[in-house]
């Protein structure tokens, strides 16, 4: 019984899921109409209303998966719409935020007719922006583990203080995990994979998102250092047209100084043609560029306060001539250029269009220089590249950005220690810069220019120091060959916009709302019943709540209803409404974070593309393809999804050198889990059912992640010995390569047994997950560079850990598929990183007109073998 429930919930084959829903609704209905007689036989009397609702429910469940549609149409660039200066200050994030607000406010009412209107009074939009602070954004700054002794006290104690004991264990961890992460047979260059989270305290961060909106009275600010005293007042004022004619940075500090009139800065917008050409010629001779973006109200990327991703209005570029120079930064030989990115106000549109074009051309040239061989330092470089791609979409394609050699000081510290992510520039300086830094307090006026210039220079020096650290720790190869090249790829992914059928989503949201309402009501009615309530309350206190609910399903209908309610509710709130709230116009694009995980994976936000529900493909996919693909050929593109099969298990086989696993994977045609299941149950492979396969998969990954015997039997729902060969694998894996010498060290780290065990499990997991993540990253890099060098038009859309999603023109589909498959399987051997796997990598592809409707793509092996 348990196993059935388990598989119906986890794997959700249509029939099983449908059956459980049917059962739930029927029981529920009977129970309500005639509580005393609710017996098994009575449930046979189905009701047409219930069936109707069931159909709606199921339909919704599957429709959701098909809504995210990837369009061939490149988005129309925003620059074509110039609705006056107000448009300039509309930020994308605010856009989406205000929509989110509308949705939550009028979720069940009809859509507002003027919802897409852009022109709104300035102040009103500010109010909206204020209300859109995302609950989770920036929350990481405050997250302190429960075992932390600092809880509740970190605000008053020094902001970067750490307990000395912790620091030493951290060091130890680094040492022990260095070799652990990439054993010699996998990677030559070992990468220090950071300290185990459990054993490390995250140092309290200065609170940068504490700043309230100017319209609200500010509560007590908990950090002094990261707040600008005057900024709130300035951004509250409505700028007049005359102000906006000037440079934006001038507007914020008007009266005190003019950024562009400072002799140390050179505003490229005010140069004559000849001067510009001289300038770019000169720029070609410098040794390095240090770049930062200037935001709407004056802050630059290096400033800590960027809560809402403000609009970008310019670029500051420091031309670094003498690489060895560490002297005073404001020497005349090092020029700082200022480039305006600001869009032209409507009233000056005609006047500025030509200027804009000229400017675009020059920035394009500049970017070409960037993309050439010059080192190019930028803090949060991904944002810069994305902005560039957005602004100059006509002149600049993602392929051109791909090769740029950008050095980002945000990535390096994360490589050195993955558990310290997202630091602001000031924190980085205090942590990693060895020379004394005078003052990092934000200033205004003339001092601001001085600070900006000196910060740019500091940024460069910091980068150099970090590079040295990388090299001494043996991480340089990994940084330059993988992480650095990810930056433009991620920028390209973020600049790509996925088309979403908004109306359909809205309808779905409403329908799901109705269903939920219905279920909620029922739930409520049922909970009125004393007995039921008692049961539910009784079990609630343990974390095995869900498990208990599963167990209780046979005893009472309520648990089933609760589970189904949760499922539907999750789909509605997290995915349908979630996507709606992340949309700007008709598109979504996730934000990809390279440095937020300890295991080297990528993560995505707004929406979390990696957690969108996996589509159940069982039904009606053929109809869909015929309709979408053959009839309406407006969309000439297909969605291609390519994924590594069982990549973690293959890496486990590689690392543990388990002969049985190795044998299984050497046979490229075989289905690994099927074989395992066959071996486990002692039957022939063709007799293994889907259920058995899922079981085997579940066992394998549980064991890989370190599940104990108890837990395992809980998963299986049966008391059964752990298959001997898996135990063998684990022992082998502990013995060879992975945990052998490190376990000793880990034991020393924590005396408590459960902590030690957790550390061990995490270590195993880091190795597998991190190596898999690196393979995926390398796949992205290789494929992108191949696509860029060929005539392909395919675009990388998303990465879901072991899976890459592309949009491909149908005419290039087959060619691209072969390219991708070959490229990814070739990652078995990577020359410059010393990767040399004895286990072959298997890659599968699926394709379809949209992400929601994919089906397996058959690529004959012989063709791949002969043609490539």
Partner DNA sequence: CCATCTAGCGTTGGG
Partner DNA sequence: TCCCAACGCTAG
Specify the stretch interacting with DNA by CB under 7 A; choose among 356-364, 474-482, 699-707, 725-733: 699-707
Is 462:409 a contact under the CB 8 Å cutoff? yes
For residue 732, the minimal CB distance to DNA (Å) is 19
Comparison of 461 and 581: residue with beta carbon closer to DNA: 581
Pick left, alpha or beta for residue 130 (phi over 0 → left; psi -120 to 50 → alpha; otherwise beta). Answer: alpha
Strand bridging mode 855-856 / 843-848: antiparallel
Comparison of 130 and 405: residue with beta carbon closer to DNA: 130
Strand bridging mode 637-644 / 803-809: antiparallel
Binding residue for DNA, selected from 284, 445, 659, 708, defined by CB under 7 A: 708
Binding mask 187-226 for DNA (x = CB under 7 A): ----------xx----------------------------
For residue 725, the minimal CB distance to DNA (Å) is 19
State which of positions 754-783 bind DNA (CB under 7 A). Answer: 758, 761-762, 765-766, 769
SS3 713: helix
Comparison of 234 and 765: residue with beta carbon closer to DNA: 765
Binding to DNA by residue 587, rule CB under 7 A?
no
Q: Which of 472, 442, 489, 455 is nearest to 211 (CA)?
A: 442
Binding to DNA by residue 786, rule CB under 7 A?
no
Taking the CA atoms of the chain, what radius of gyration do you get in angstroms?
A: 29
For residue 525, the minimal CB distance to DNA (Å) is 17
Comparison of 280 and 587: residue with beta carbon closer to DNA: 587
User: How buried is 217 (Cβ within 10 angstroms: 0-12 exposed, 13-18 middle, 19+ buried)?
Assistant: exposed
For residue 359, the minimal CB distance to DNA (Å) is 35
Please state the φ and ψ torsions of residue 638, each to the nearest 5 degrees: -125, 160
CA angle 832, 835, 837 (to 5 degrees): 150
Binders of DNA: how many residues, by CB under 7 A? 62
User: What token pair was written down for 309?
Assistant: 């991703």
Q: Which residues contact 789 (CB under 8 A, 6 or more apart)?
A: none
Binding mask 143-182 for DNA (x = CB under 7 A): xx-x----x-------------------------------
For residue 58, the minimal CB distance to DNA (Å) is 14
User: What token pair was written down for 363?
Assistant: 């920035």
For residue 774, the minimal CB distance to DNA (Å) is 14
Q: What ranges in 34-163 are assigned the alpha helix state H?
A: 48-63, 85-89, 92-105, 122-130
Binding to DNA by residue 408, rule CB under 7 A?
no
Q: Which residue has the tokens 């961060």?
A: 205
Comparison of 477 and 750: residue with beta carbon closer to DNA: 750
User: How buried is 94 (Cβ within 10 angstroms: 0-12 exposed, 13-18 middle, 19+ buried)?
Assistant: buried
State which of positions 462-481 bind DNA (CB under 7 A). Answer: none
User: What token pair was written down for 293?
Assistant: 């973006």
Comparison of 183 and 613: residue with beta carbon closer to DNA: 613
State which of positions 235-274 bind DNA (CB under 7 A). Answer: none
What CA–CA distance (Å, rounded) separates 580 from 571? 12
Binding residue for DNA, selected from 707, 739, 746, 833, defined by CB under 7 A: 707
Binding to DNA by residue 588, rule CB under 7 A?
no
SS3 438: coil
SS3 586: coil
User: What token pair was written down for 594?
Assistant: 């390279």
- Count of alpha carbons within 13 Å of 787, Cβ hemisphere only? 28
Binding residue for DNA, selected from 566, 720, 735, 747, defined by CB under 7 A: 566
Comparison of 155 and 351: residue with beta carbon closer to DNA: 155
Q: Which residue has the tokens 């080297």?
A: 600
Specify the stretch interacting with DNA by CB under 7 A; choose among 91-99, 603-611, 738-746, 843-851: 603-611
Q: Which residues contact 392 (CB under 8 A, 6 or more apart)?
A: 360, 363, 364, 367
Comparison of 477 and 597: residue with beta carbon closer to DNA: 597
DSSP type of residue 120: -
Q: Which of 138, 280, 103 is nearest to 209 (CA)?
A: 138
Specify the stretch interacting with DNA by CB under 7 A; choose among 245-253, 271-279, 304-312, 596-604: 596-604
How far from each other are the two terminal CA atoms of the chain, in whole angstroms? 50
Binding mask 56-95 for DNA (x = CB under 7 A): ----------------------------------------
Binding to DNA by residue 598, rule CB under 7 A?
yes
Comparison of 111 and 717: residue with beta carbon closer to DNA: 717
Binding to DNA by residue 593, rule CB under 7 A?
yes
Binding residue for DNA, selected from 94, 420, 774, 802, defined by CB under 7 A: 802
Q: Which residue has the tokens 């059956």?
A: 19
Binding to DNA by residue 543, rule CB under 7 A?
yes
Please state the φ and ψ torsions of residue 301, each to the nearest 5 degrees: -60, -25
Binding mask 501-540 for DNA (x = CB under 7 A): ----------------------------------------
State which of positions 803-822 bind DNA (CB under 7 A). Answer: 803
Binding to DNA by residue 573, rule CB under 7 A?
yes
CB atoms within 10 A of CB 176: 21
Strand bridging mode 288-295 / 376-378: parallel
Binding to DNA by residue 601, rule CB under 7 A?
yes
Please state the φ and ψ torsions of residue 227, each to the nearest 5 degrees: -120, 140
Binding to DNA by residue 726, rule CB under 7 A?
no
Binding to DNA by residue 604, rule CB under 7 A?
yes
For residue 114, the minimal CB distance to DNA (Å) is 24
For residue 307, the minimal CB distance to DNA (Å) is 10
Q: Which of 377, 492, 421, 378 is nearest to 780 (CA)?
A: 492
CA angle 125, 130, 136 (to 5 degrees): 135
State which of positions 606-645 bind DNA (CB under 7 A). Answer: 606-608, 610-614
State which of positions 118-147 bind DNA (CB under 7 A). Answer: 133-136, 139, 142-144, 146
Please state the φ and ψ torsions of residue 317, each to the nearest 5 degrees: -125, 120
Binding residue for DNA, selected from 13, 225, 706, 834, defined by CB under 7 A: 706
For residue 20, the minimal CB distance to DNA (Å) is 13
Comparison of 119 and 140: residue with beta carbon closer to DNA: 140
For residue 601, the minimal CB distance to DNA (Å) is 7
What CA–CA distance (Å, rounded) separates 183 from 624? 47
Comparison of 495 and 595: residue with beta carbon closer to DNA: 595
Strand bridging mode 795-799 / 803-809: antiparallel
Strand partners, 292: 316
Please state the φ and ψ torsions of residue 449, each to the nearest 5 degrees: -60, -45
Residues that bind DNA (CB under 7 A): 133-136, 139, 142-144, 146, 151, 197-198, 543, 545-546, 563, 566-567, 569-570, 573-574, 577-578, 581, 593, 596-599, 601, 603-608, 610-614, 701-702, 705-708, 710-711, 714-715, 758, 761-762, 765-766, 769, 800-803
């Amino acid at each position: 019984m348990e196993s059935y429930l388990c598989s119906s919930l986890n794997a959700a084959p249509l029939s099983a899921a449908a059956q459980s829903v049917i059962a739930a609704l029927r029981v529920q209905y009977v129970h309500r109409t005639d509580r005393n007689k609710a017996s098994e036989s009575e449930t046979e009397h189905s009701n047409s209303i219930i069936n109707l609702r069931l159909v709606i429910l199921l339909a919704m469940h599957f429709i959701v998966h098909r809504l995210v549609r990837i369009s061939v149409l490149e988005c129309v660039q925003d620059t074509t719409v110039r609705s006056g200066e107000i448009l300039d200050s509309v930020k994308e994030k605010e856009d989406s935020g205000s929509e989110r607000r509308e949705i939550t406010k009028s979720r069940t009412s009809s859509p507002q007719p003027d919802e897409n209107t852009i022109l709104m009074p300035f102040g009103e939009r500010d109010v909206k922006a204020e209300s859109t602070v995302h609950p989770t954004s920036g929350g990481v700054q405050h997250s302190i583990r429960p075992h932390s002794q600092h809880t509740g006290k970190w605000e008053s104690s020094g902001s970067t203080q750490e307990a000395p004991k912790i620091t030493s264990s951290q060091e130890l961890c680094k040492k022990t995990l260095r070799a652990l992460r990439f054993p010699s047979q996998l990677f030559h260059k070992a990468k220090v994979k950071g300290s185990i989270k459990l054993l490390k305290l995250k140092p309290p961060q200065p609170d940068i998102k504490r700043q309230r909106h100017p319209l609200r009275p500010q509560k007590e600010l908990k950090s002094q250092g990261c707040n600008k005293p005057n900024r709130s007042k300035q951004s509250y004022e409505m700028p007049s047209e005359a102000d906006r004619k000037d440079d934006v940075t001038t507007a914020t500090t008007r009266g005190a100084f003019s950024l562009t009139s400072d002799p140390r800065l050179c505003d490229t917008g005010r140069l004559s043609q000849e001067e510009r050409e001289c300038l770019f010629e000169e720029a070609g001779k410098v040794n390095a560029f240090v770049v930062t973006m200037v935001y709407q109200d004056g802050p630059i990327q290096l400033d800590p306060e960027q809560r809402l991703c403000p609009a970008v209005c310019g670029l500051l570029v420091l031309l670094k001539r003498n690489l060895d120079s560490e002297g005073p930064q404001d020497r005349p030989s090092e020029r700082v250029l200022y480039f305006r990115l600001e869009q032209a106000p409507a009233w000056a549109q005609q006047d500025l269009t030509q200027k804009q074009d000229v400017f675009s051309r020059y920035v394009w040239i500049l970017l070409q220089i960037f993309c050439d061989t010059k080192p190019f330092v930028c803090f949060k470089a991904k944002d810069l590249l994305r902005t560039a791609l957005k602004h100059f979409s006509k002149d600049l394609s993602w392929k051109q950005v791909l090769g740029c050699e950008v050095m980002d000081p945000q990535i390096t510290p994360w490589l050195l220690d993955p558990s310290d992510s997202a630091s602001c520039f000031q924190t980085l300086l205090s942590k990693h810069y060895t020379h004394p830094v005078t003052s990092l307090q934000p200033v205004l006026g003339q001092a601001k220019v001085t600070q900006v210039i000196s910060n740019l220079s500091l940024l460069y020096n910091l980068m150099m120091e970090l590079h040295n650290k990388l090299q001494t720790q043996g991480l340089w190869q990994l940084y330059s060959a993988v992480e650095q090249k990810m930056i433009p790829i991620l920028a390209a992914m973020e600049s790509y916009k996925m088309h979403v059928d908004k109306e359909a989503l809205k309808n779905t949201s409403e329908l799901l709302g109705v269903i939920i309402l219905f279920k909620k009501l029922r739930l409520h009615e049922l909970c009125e019943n004393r007995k039921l309530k008692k049961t539910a309350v009784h079990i609630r206190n343990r974390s095995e709540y869900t498990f208990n609910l599963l167990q209780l399903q046979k005893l009472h209908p309520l648990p089933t209803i609760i589970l189904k309610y949760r499922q539907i509710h999750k789909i509605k709130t997290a995915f349908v409404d979630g996507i709606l709230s992340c949309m700007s116009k008709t598109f979504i694009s996730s934000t990809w974070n390279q440095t937020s995980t300890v295991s080297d994976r990528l993560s995505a936000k707004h929406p979390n593309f990696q957690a969108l529900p996996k589509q159940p493909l069982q039904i009606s996919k053929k109809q869909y393809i015929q309709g979408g693909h053959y009839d309406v050929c407006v969309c000439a593109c297909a969605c291609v999804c390519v994924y590594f099969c069982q990549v973690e298990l293959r890496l486990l086989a590689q690392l543990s050198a388990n002969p049985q696993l190795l044998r299984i994977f050497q046979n490229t045609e075989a289905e690994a889990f099927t074989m395992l299941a066959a071996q486990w149950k002692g039957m022939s492979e063709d007799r293994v059912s889907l259920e058995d396969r899922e079981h085997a998969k579940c066992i394998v990954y549980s064991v890989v992640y370190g599940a104990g015997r108890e837990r395992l039997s809980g998963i299986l729902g049966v008391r059964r010995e752990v298959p001997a060969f898996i135990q063998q694998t684990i022992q082998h894996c502990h013995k060879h390569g992975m945990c052998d010498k490190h376990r000793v060290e880990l034991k020393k780290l924590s005396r408590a047994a459960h902590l030690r065990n957790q550390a061990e499990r995490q270590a195993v997991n880091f190795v597998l997950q991190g190596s898999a993540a690196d393979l995926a990253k390398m796949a992205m890099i290789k494929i992108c560079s191949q696509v860029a060098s060929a005539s392909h038009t395919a675009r990388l859309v998303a990465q879901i850990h072991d899976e890459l999603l592309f949009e491909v023109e149908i005419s290039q589909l087959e060619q691209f598929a072969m390219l991708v498959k070959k490229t990814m399987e070739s990652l078995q051997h990577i020359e410059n990183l010393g990767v040399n796997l004895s286990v072959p990598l298997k890659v599968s592809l699926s394709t379809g007109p949209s992400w929601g409707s994919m089906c397996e793509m058959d690529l004959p092996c012989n063709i791949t073998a002969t043609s490539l």
